[in-house]
Amino acid sequence: MWSFPLFPDQASTLASKVDALYFFLIAISIFFSILIAVLVVGLAIKYRRRSDDEKPPAIHGSLLLELTWTLIPAGIVLVIFVWSAEVYFSAVRVPKNAIEVQAVGKRWMWKIQHMTGKREINELHVPVGVPVKVTLTSEDVIHSFFIPAFRVKKDAVPGRYNTMWFEATKTGKYHLFCAEYCGTKHSGMIGTVYVMEPDAYQAWLGGEQAGASLAGAGEKLFTDLACITCHRGDSGARGPDLAGLFGKPVKLASGETVTADETYLRESIVQPAAKIVEGYQPIMPTFQGLLSEEQLLQLVAYIQGMKAEVKDEAAAPAAGAAAPSTGAR
Ligand code: CUA
């Protein structure tokens, strides 16, 4: 059945789950379509008017019948709800050990960056049997990152980061499509996903020039753009300390609390005035238009990584510095 071209390969852990649910929905639809069609035709024939003076008896409802046609569909719908919620959660919850890849949509291509700094266009190389998290954004209009064989599809929206994940189960070549109409060459915005054995993948990753990692490129930007002059983490700093910030709640001047996720970091770089951290002045200049989406992702990758390393070094002095100042108040 799977050689029938209507159905793409099942090449991810999600594929069989999505297909099982899909075929269940199809089966339910076919069953009830046939049942209803047979009843309509059959009953129309059975209860046809046989003579001109024939009058049908008046019927004043039936509790049993009404309960039946209420409870059976309610039960079926609940099964569909629980089942699809289960599939949805497994599609949305990214496993902790996922490797990360960044994809930027642009009319009309996909630009991919790996954490090692390796880049590719309209091609995505991934290892088999390893969860891969893709962070998606767009440089211009809305695109949609679609790998039919993995049963995953997610919009790439300008100005925000969306994530998707998959775990490939079969090595090989698979289609990558843009699934959101994005202009003249939308139909040409296609690519290939290469699923490789982990060894071959490692060889491919390290094969080319050992360029700077994404976080390394981000660190260089951080220095070149002089972010460090304000975000330097001591008490006189004009900007919030970024070490250990990622994933933590941030108290804003407006009283709100937000989580320092990828989208928050990106927004704070291109639109610093949007969310002012409590205790700081809105003095940061915008970097809108000065950085490409790829560079923004590099900076975000660097800030994300400032978690462990900087924290360990800074933990002792920071705690020491904080204690007297709180005591003074
Ligand atoms: Cu990009 Cu359609």
- Is the same domain home to 204 and 242? no
Is 5 inside any structural domain?
Answer: yes
Q: Which residue has the higher pLDDT, 78 or 61?
A: 78
Ligand 1 atom nearest residue 187's Cα: 2
Question: In which band, very low, low, confident or very high, does the pLDDT at 4 lie, cut at 50, 70 and 90?
Answer: low
- Is the same domain home to 163 and 195? yes
Q: Whose CA is nearest to atom 1 of ligand 1?
A: 143
- Is the same domain home to 155 and 234? no
Domain C-terminal end among 144, 174, 209? 209
Instruction: Kindly report the backbone phi and psi dihedral angles of residue 278, in degrees, each rounded to the nearest multiple of 5, phi listed first.
Output: -55, 135
- Ligand 1 contact via 307 beta carbon (within 6 Å): no
Task: State the burial class of residue 247 (Cβ atoms within 10 Å of its Cβ: 0-12, 13-18, 19+).
Answer: exposed
- Is the same domain home to 197 and 235? no
- Is the same domain home to 149 and 226? no
Q: What is the CATH number of the domain that holds 253?
A: 1.10.760.10
- Is the same domain home to 198 and 224? no
Other Cβ atoms less than 10 A from the Cβ of 28: the count is: 14
- Is the same domain home to 224 and 272? yes
Closest by CA to 125, choosing from 117, 114, 138, 137, is 114
- Is the same domain home to 111 and 21? yes
pLDDT at 21 over 50: yes
Instruction: Please write the tens of the pLDDT for every residue from 135-184.
Output: 999 999 999 999 999 999 999 999 889 999 999 999 999 999 999 999 99
Range of the domain at 122: 1-46+94-209
Is 163 inside any structural domain?
Answer: yes
Ligand 1 atom nearest residue 108's Cα: 1
- Ligand 1 contact via 143 beta carbon (within 6 Å): yes
249-251/143-147 β-pairing: unpaired
131-138/162-167 β-pairing: antiparallel
Domain C-terminal end among 209, 242, 257? 209
- Is the same domain home to 287 and 156? no
pLDDT at 23: 94
Q: Which residues pair with 126 in a beta bridge?
A: 195
Taking residues 193-219, report their average pLDDT: 79
| 153 CA to centre of ligand 1 in angstroms | 12
Residue 61: alpha-carbon gap to chain centroid: 50
Is 298 inside any structural domain?
Answer: yes
Is 281 inside any structural domain?
Answer: yes
Q: Which residue has the higher pLDDT, 218 or 81?
A: 81
pLDDT at 211: 55
Question: In which band, very low, low, confident or very high, does the pLDDT at 8 lie, cut at 50, 70 and 90?
Answer: confident
Other Cβ atoms less than 10 A from the Cβ of 207: the count is: 10
Q: Which residue has the higher pLDDT, 37 or 116?
A: 37
- Is the same domain home to 244 and 162? no
Closest by CA to 130, choosing from 94, 168, 164, 165, is 168
pLDDT at 242: 84
| 187 CA to centre of ligand 1 in angstroms | 7
Taking residues 308-315, report their average pLDDT: 44
Is 85 inside any structural domain?
Answer: no
Average pLDDT score over the chain: 85
18-22, 98-102, 248-252, 302-306, range with the lowest pLDDT? 302-306
| 111 CA to centre of ligand 1 in angstroms | 13
Q: Tokens 């800074």, residue?
A: 314
Instruction: Please write the tens of the pLDDT for every residue from 316-329.
Output: 444 333 333 333 33
Closest by CA to 167, choosing from 147, 182, 184, is 147
- The side-by-side arrangement of strands in the sheet containing 109-114 is 119-121, 109-114, 99-106, 131-138, 162-167
How many structural domains comprise the chain? Answer: 2
Is 197 inside any structural domain?
Answer: yes
Contacts of 252 (CB under 8 A, 6+ apart): 258, 275, 276, 277, 278
Q: Which residues pair with 321 in a beta bridge?
A: none
User: Which strand (E) or helix (H) includes residue 262?
Assistant: helix 262-270
Taking residues 29-52, report their average pLDDT: 94
Helix (H, G, I), strand (E, B) or coil at 171: coil
Ligand 1 atom nearest residue 180's Cα: 2
Instruction: Please write the tens of the pLDDT for every residue from 239-285.
Output: 888 888 888 888 888 888 898 888 888 888 888 888 888 888 888 88
End-to-end CA distance of the chain: 74
Determine the angle formed by the axes of helices 63-92 and 15-46, rounding to 10 degrees.
160
- Is the same domain home to 32 and 141? yes
- Is the same domain home to 219 and 177? no
Q: What is the CATH number of the domain that holds 11?
A: 2.60.40.420
Is 310 inside any structural domain?
Answer: no
Question: In which band, very low, low, confident or very high, does the pLDDT at 295 lie, cut at 50, 70 and 90?
Answer: confident
How far, in Å, CA of 243 to CA of 225, rounded? 17
Closest by CA to 124, choosing from 139, 137, 114, is 114
pLDDT at 66 over 80: yes
pLDDT at 209 over 70: no
Is 86 inside any structural domain?
Answer: no
